[in-house]
Structure 1
Amino acid sequence: MTVVVALDQGTTNTKALAIDVSGRVVAKASAPVGITTPAAGSVEQDAEEIWTRSVDVLARCIDEAGASSVVGLAIANQRESVVAWDRSTGAPTGPVLSWQDSRTAEWCATLGDAQTVGLVQGRTGLPLDPMFSAPKMAWVLRDADPSTVVGTVDSWLLWNLTGSTEHVIEAGNASRTLLYRLDKLCWDDDLLALFGIRPSALPEPRRSHGPFGRTACEGLPRGLPVLAVLADSHAALRGHGGGTPGIVKATYGTGSSVMRGTGSDLEHRQGIATTLAWLDESPTYALEGNIRYSGSALEWTARMLGLPGAVALGELAAQVPHAGDVAFVPAFGGLGAPHWDPSAVGTITGLGARSTPAHVARAAFDAVAHQVADVVQAMVADTSHGRLRADGGATASRLLMQTQADVLGCQVDVAATEDMAAYGAARAAFSSQGVEIPPAPAGGLYVPRKDSSDRDRARTAWARAVARARY
């Protein structure tokens, strides 16, 4: 048996899956990862915890699969989050600034004249927004020693996996920093100057199949090659078989990523980012919309209602046929695509004397579905004849998936595995070795049950709620 062990380092969980050449998962391990919010707009993680949890799940998965069967590793990682460490000691110089962290919002606004916004978006495909890496990199490098280097989570993992020999970043992850030029596939000197980032602090961009080096760390077999690295949402697209124009996927995690592959074409849409999905021998691009709070919005609502989690929230929401007039906009750190409004605030509106906790719970599921619909409809003019591929932990909720189909007015195909990022990374790793494993199959499908007039009313009410959140 030949397997690739794929690490999926996410915002709140780290998983490892051993996947064979037929696409079958033969071993799996997981561990939670902590996240803190020490101040308004600040979202942090512990770099050492991310590393130790990653080693733990990799070691357990390799042991279960059998070390002799493992041909190499693959990595899918949370994007945009920033780690800084001392090059000489390898020790982190502070906390990981999460992709959800918005402490640099005011500073980004001071850079945001029309000419600068146009420069940034024209070269990187991204809006000038604190979600992306460059503002966080500038923050952690302020007054830093010359020995301090920075990277995204893939950079941090690769540095440690290879025994501090590789300070590199995968190209798709680099494209999420606001520093990487999409047409030339390299760091952009003008953007480095704009954000005040010294080139010597940055990792070297590499293709998605590397080379990324071999394992030389404690806790893992030595000499295993890292065969492929992909950003998590990009890996999920690859797991669905995306990349070619037409496939639209939504990943439902802590936040949500909606992506549509565009192949070799650099397409642009208002309110939607253009990104590098992966870089093999040639680039594959995609359109993407990022939603900051989706699964985490469900967890937040559950805590507010005194429930143990999203499953219990779904049971409560199912007690009512709809949310009534209640609308929840989870703009806790502003709104992402397609609005890109960091000043938006979280709101619950439409409460009345007859409103119940069940209506609020239902509104939380509506909020996730409407946010995804906002992005899909900004990408695709007519959704009624298409379909959405869905993956991620929240797809286990039948209520959410049916609501998504109703809100979009199209079929929703749910992947048979919720671990699509790891699966997509494994596909890339096998491909680098000349072996093609099939895209992940669908495990269920949902078709719209509401007519267009009901859908239009619901979408109009949601638009009014979003407008209130952006007052």
Structure 2
Amino acid sequence: MAIDQGTTSSRTCIVNQAGGLVAEARETFKQIYPEAGWVEHDPEDIWYSTQRSMRMALEKANIKGSQIRAIGITNQRETVMVWDKKSGKAIYNAIVWQCRRTHDVCEKLKKNKKEKLVTAKTGLVLDPYFSATKIQWLLKNVKGAKDKAKNGELLAGTVDTYLLWKLTAGHSHKTDVSNASRTMLMNIHRGNWDEEMMKLFQVPSSLLPEICPSNSEFGRTQGLGFMPDGIPVTGIVGDQQAALFGQACFDLGESKCTFGTGSFILLNTGTKATKSKNKLLTTIAWQLKGQKTTYALEGGAFVCGAAVQWLRDGLGLFEKSSDVENLAKSVDDTLGVEFVPALTGLGAPHWNAEARGVISGLTRGTTKAHIARATLEAMALQNVDILETMQKDLGKKLKSLRVDGGAAANDLLMKLQADYCATNVVRPKNLETTAMGAAFMAGLGSGFWNSLNDIKKVWAVDKEFKVSMTSAARKQRKARWAAALKKV
């Protein structure tokens, strides 16, 4: 059983030994926007939706909970919450990875010349995206939180830690290396919570979970009701790293792009923490028990599928997200329209937290089809910025890019991606690679699969999108995009 707790929904997938998806269930939950640039979730909504998706998946699969060999968890990563150790109640809503409320804190630290130190130890840039300043904000702004934290009455964690704590009835307060590496509190070279980072962000060590390899036995179910006690949780991995694992990108130089709420590209750099010269993140991909840590370079665009959701819900251009492809295909080009979807700032390699979305080039001839096409083109072009930066850091061209996530089903977007990044795009048969990564990790941890080679055997290609655009046309298109970026 793979629990995939995402930004807009909680999903559970049940997977068999052949890598087949036996059942999948999803439960959406409320997004909370208290102020401009602030994003929150109710932790109880996260927990309720997760339980409901687990129950529905078991019903769809027509199996009992006792037939589950092991559970894997993958999750939205930097989102963080703090809860009371005794009552289990969160002291405030979860602060979501997209939230920009700690922008001023990050800017102050940059002015105090702390970014080099932070990057050297954590592989990350000083940005509100990561968990450390979110925990700092909670302790500072929730009445009595600082004193409770000092007294050891509170616990903190990313979503995986919170779910594990709930699944085990409060017996297990742990996380894995991939999630810990996204907090800005972990020394990614030593694999432990860093004293200097905890001091810098004023986060007491008593709040933080134990860091474990990704395929450890993290704990066992207790008190769920719909599942028996004692089912082991043997895999935890952050969602983007899970997708890299689910795409069987086990070797140095292999890469994937997940098209979700945001789009995230990860490149496996092996057992070496490759330092980016171009504002990419150096992060931990995973660590298997008894083996060296595997690292990755990462670049993320904060708004990808979320731009299509905005066209659907905010502008009412179509009823279903999947309608965007046919609408965009109904025109040959954007008619000069450019959309930079910086709706929550710009991520890698720009890192402009104050950037806001811009639609330019509008004329009397512009239709919703041109805006739809400009949106898909922007989704692909954002990734080109990241991929080209990644290739500079790696010192060589990528052979191909494996893709997954909901929008990877969009053939037009995948063709645009191949043409704009001048790299063939490979789509697997199973697009649920994030959940599959969690399932594979839990399967390795429980002995359901014995090796990475067993996993490679069940990964299969659906379609490869080949490059057909000329280099001259590509250069012109990228120049128009670069001009649009200057307007945000």
Q: TM range, normalised to the smaller chain?
A: over 0.9
Kindly indicate whether the alpha-carbon contact (under 8 Å) linking 1:73 and 1:226 is maintained by their aligned counterparts in 2.
yes
Residue 188 of structure 1, aligned match among 194, 197, 220? 194
1:279 paired with 2:287, answer yes
Kindly indicate whether the alpha-carbon contact (under 8 Å) linking 1:18 and 1:65 is maintained by their aligned counterparts in 2.
no
Q: Find the residue that maps to 1:301 and give its secondary structure.
A: helix
**1:51 matched residue in structure 2:** 47
* Aligned mates of 1:343, 1:136 — CA distance in 2: 17
Amino acid at match of 2:247: H
**2:14 matched residue in structure 1:** 18
Kindly indicate whether the alpha-carbon contact (under 8 Å) linking 2:69 and 2:446 is maintained by their aligned counterparts in 1.
no
Q: Shift of the alpha carbon at 1:315?
A: 2.0
* Aligned mates of 1:235, 1:457 — CA distance in 2: 36
RMSD: 1.6
1:264 paired with 2:271, answer yes
Amino acid at match of 1:277: A
* Aligned mates of 1:50, 1:236 — CA distance in 2: 21
1:208-238: CA deviation from partner (whole Å, max 9, x where unpaired): 1223110013232211000110101101100
Q: Find the residue that maps to 2:416 and give its secondary structure.
A: helix
Residue 307 of structure 2, aligned match among 294, 297, 302? 297
* Aligned mates of 1:309, 1:49 — CA distance in 2: 24
Gaps of 5+ in 2: none
Residue 443 of structure 1, aligned match among 462, 469, 476? 462
1:345-395: CA deviation from partner (whole Å, max 9, x where unpaired): 111112223222211111100111011111111111488762110000011
Deviates further, 374-383 or 195-204:
374-383
1:327 paired with 2:341, answer no
1:246 paired with 2:256, answer no
**1:306 matched residue in structure 2:** 317
Amino acid at match of 1:337: A
Q: Shift of the alpha carbon at 1:409?
A: 1.4
1:85-130: CA deviation from partner (whole Å, max 9, x where unpaired): 1111001111111100011111210111373000000000000000
Q: Find the residue that maps to 2:462 and give its secondary structure.
A: strand
* Aligned mates of 1:320, 1:302 — CA distance in 2: 18
1:28 paired with 2:24, answer yes
**1:407 matched residue in structure 2:** 420
Task: Specify whether residues 77 and 265 from structure 1 end up closer, same or farther in structure 2 by C-alpha distance, changes over 3 A only.
Answer: same
Amino acid at match of 2:473: D
Amino acid at match of 1:421: T
Residue 230 of structure 2, aligned match among 220, 223, 226? 223
Amino acid at match of 2:375: A
Task: Specify whether residues 383 and 347 from structure 1 end up closer, same or farther in structure 2 by C-alpha distance, changes over 3 A only.
Answer: farther
Q: Shift of the alpha carbon at 1:305?
A: 4.3
Kindly indicate whether the alpha-carbon contact (under 8 Å) linking 1:383 and 1:410 is maintained by their aligned counterparts in 2.
no
Residue 138 of structure 1, aligned match among 131, 136, 141? 136
Q: Find the residue that maps to 2:34 and give its secondary structure.
A: strand
Deviates further, 376-385 or 5-14:
376-385
* Aligned mates of 1:394, 1:452 — CA distance in 2: 25
* Aligned mates of 1:351, 1:141 — CA distance in 2: 46
**1:62 matched residue in structure 2:** 58
Residue 93 of structure 2, aligned match among 92, 95, 120? 95
* Aligned mates of 1:105, 1:156 — CA distance in 2: 25
* Aligned mates of 1:309, 1:128 — CA distance in 2: 36
1:305-348: CA deviation from partner (whole Å, max 9, x where unpaired): 43223222222211111112111111112100011111211111
Q: Find the residue that maps to 1:156 and give its secondary structure.
A: helix
Residue 439 of structure 2, aligned match among 419, 426, 430? 426
* Aligned mates of 2:286, 2:334 — CA distance in 1: 40
* Aligned mates of 2:383, 2:223 — CA distance in 1: 40
TM-score of the two chains, using structure 2 as the length reference = 0.92
* Aligned mates of 1:272, 1:114 — CA distance in 2: 22
1:119-156: CA deviation from partner (whole Å, max 9, x where unpaired): 00000000000001001111111141332221100010
Residue 118 of structure 2, aligned match among 92, 100, 120? 120
Q: Shift of the alpha carbon at 1:271?
A: 1.5
Kindly indicate whether the alpha-carbon contact (under 8 Å) linking 1:75 and 1:229 is maintained by their aligned counterparts in 2.
yes
1:173 paired with 2:184, answer no
**1:105 matched residue in structure 2:** 103
Task: Specify whether residues 276 and 385 from structure 1 end up closer, same or farther in structure 2 by C-alpha distance, changes over 3 A only.
Answer: closer
1:42-101: CA deviation from partner (whole Å, max 9, x where unpaired): 011111111111112223333523334311111111100011111110011111111000
* Aligned mates of 1:438, 1:65 — CA distance in 2: 24
Q: Find the residue that maps to 2:77 and give its secondary structure.
A: coil
Q: Shift of the alpha carbon at 1:396?
A: 1.3
Kindly indicate whether the alpha-carbon contact (under 8 Å) linking 2:176 and 2:211 is maintained by their aligned counterparts in 1.
yes
**1:343 matched residue in structure 2:** 354
Q: Find the residue that maps to 2:155 and give its secondary structure.
A: strand
Between the aligned residues of both structures, percent identity stands at 36
Deviates further, 226-235 or 164-173:
164-173
Amino acid at match of 2:208: L
Deviates further, 432-441 or 161-170:
432-441
Amino acid at match of 2:293: P
**1:358 matched residue in structure 2:** 369
1:388 paired with 2:401, answer yes
Deviates further, 128-137 or 324-333:
324-333
TM-score of the two chains, using structure 1 as the length reference = 0.95
Amino acid at match of 2:463: G
Kindly indicate whether the alpha-carbon contact (under 8 Å) linking 2:260 and 2:305 is maintained by their aligned counterparts in 1.
yes
Q: Shift of the alpha carbon at 1:277?
A: 0.7
Q: Find the residue that maps to 2:336 and give its secondary structure.
A: coil
Amino acid at match of 1:452: S
1:163 paired with 2:163, answer no
Kindly indicate whether the alpha-carbon contact (under 8 Å) linking 1:391 and 1:414 is maintained by their aligned counterparts in 2.
yes
